[in-house]
Amino acid sequence: MAEVGRLAGVSQVTVSRALSSPEKVSPETLRRIRDAVNQTGYVPNAVAGALASSRSKLIAALVPSITNIFYSSSLQAFSDIMREQGYQIMLSETGFDPEREEAAIAAHLSRRPDAIMLTGVRHSAAARRMLLNAGIPVVEVWDLTETPVDCCVGFSQGAAAEAAADLALASGYRHAVTVTAGNERAQRRRDAFAARFETAGHGPVERIDLGPSATLGLGREALAQLVERGLRPGTVVFCSSDQFAHGILVEAAARGLAVPKDVAVIGFGDQDFATATEPALTTIRIDRQALGQAAATALIQRFAGFPGLDPVHDVGFELVRRGSA
């Protein structure tokens, strides 16, 4: 900053004022300072500025996967709004691992973000303590709880799965299988679907639990397992993601199985390809853009100190019935 002042012919105090409150500096002086900044490549110390102003203009965002469209599309909608408000996003990938999430929370909080967005509402005790002690707005997305750290924006995992079970029962399916990725929210949907289906007197529901990430290939393997065990007529498969469901449809076609006559399939997520599969995929739709926008709005309202804000925002879900079930 001192070098910028020497080049511009002004004091270091004037440089500081021009960078923080440019309206307080004459246009000519501001031009000289900006020219000097460009010449030197100077970048202001945002951490020091945040300590002085109590605002860093940074939002920390933690997602399980940056390649999963569930999270990337909602994050895009969230980021678009926050950027319009003058904020930048610091992003970390946690991979469904509570320890990785805890470490990421500590790293981000050390950089003094103005707020933090988390995926899910289940965190380690240490992570929750850090978040509560930080004293900044926190929005948890993709899930609901009556006891959020600060506020949450999402939908009921259990209700979504129960809606899928109700569809299966109303359609006359008497045997059910769940194909589930190894993350906590997917497992809660699995359990809710199974409980609803078995309560109706059908079951037990067979479970196939796979790795942490859903892929088309694993979906094919899941149906191959079912066929080897003896696929019963009138079976419906509830998948924790559309990728698994797509894999099951591909494997069914390869084996000459008719969908939904020989096996019915229900996915989750309503991804872009869901209408283009053969048959088109029955699935549960979450409005990912609306979720991201609602999360951004919740933080903006907290920055503004709006009174009486509801800490729980349910964006809901939609069961989309197509040809696969």
Q: Express each pLDDT in 287-298 by its tens digit.
A: 999 999 999 999
In this predicted structure, what is the pLDDT of residue 158? Answer: 97
Residue 68 in this model has a pLDDT that exceeds 60: yes
What is the rounded CA–CA span in Å between residue 300 and residue 225? 49
Tokens, residue 61: 């965002």
The predicted-structure confidence for 254-270, as pLDDT tens digits, reads as follows 999 999 999 999 999 99
Torsions phi, psi for 311 (to 5 deg): -75, -10
Please name which of 24, 19, 105 lies closest in space to residue 61, comparing C-alpha atoms: 105
DSSP state of 205: P
What is the rounded CA–CA span in Å between residue 184 and residue 188? 6
Domain ranges of the chain: 2-44, 56-155+288-316, 157-285
Please give the CATH architecture assigned to the domain spanning 157-285. Answer: 3-Layer(aba) Sandwich (3.40)
What is the rounded CA–CA span in Å between residue 157 and residue 159? 6
Confidence category of residue 16, pLDDT binned at 50, 70, 90? confident
Please name which of 60, 178, 184 lies closest in space to residue 111, comparing C-alpha atoms: 60
CA distances from 249 to 124, 192, 208, 288 (A): 37, 23, 16, 24
Confidence category of residue 51, pLDDT binned at 50, 70, 90? low
Tokens, residue 34: 């900006």
CA distances from 152 to 89, 144, 149, 202 (A): 19, 6, 8, 35
Please name which of 168, 166, 142, 140 lies closest in space to residue 156, comparing C-alpha atoms: 142
> How many Cα neighbours within 13 Å face the side chain of 274?
24
What is the rounded CA–CA span in Å between residue 183 and residue 156? 16
- 209's enclosing H/E stretch is strand 206-209
The predicted-structure confidence for 144-167, as pLDDT tens digits, reads as follows 999 999 999 999 999 999 999 999
pLDDT, mean over the chain: 92
| Within this chain, domains 56-155+288-316 and 157-285 share the same CATH topology | yes
In this predicted structure, what is the pLDDT of residue 46? Answer: 55
Highest mean pLDDT among 18-22, 37-41, 131-135, 238-242: 238-242
- CATH number assigned to the domain covering 56-155+288-316: 3.40.50.2300
Please name which of 93, 126, 94, 90 lies closest in space to residue 108, comparing C-alpha atoms: 90
In this predicted structure, what is the pLDDT of residue 324? Answer: 98
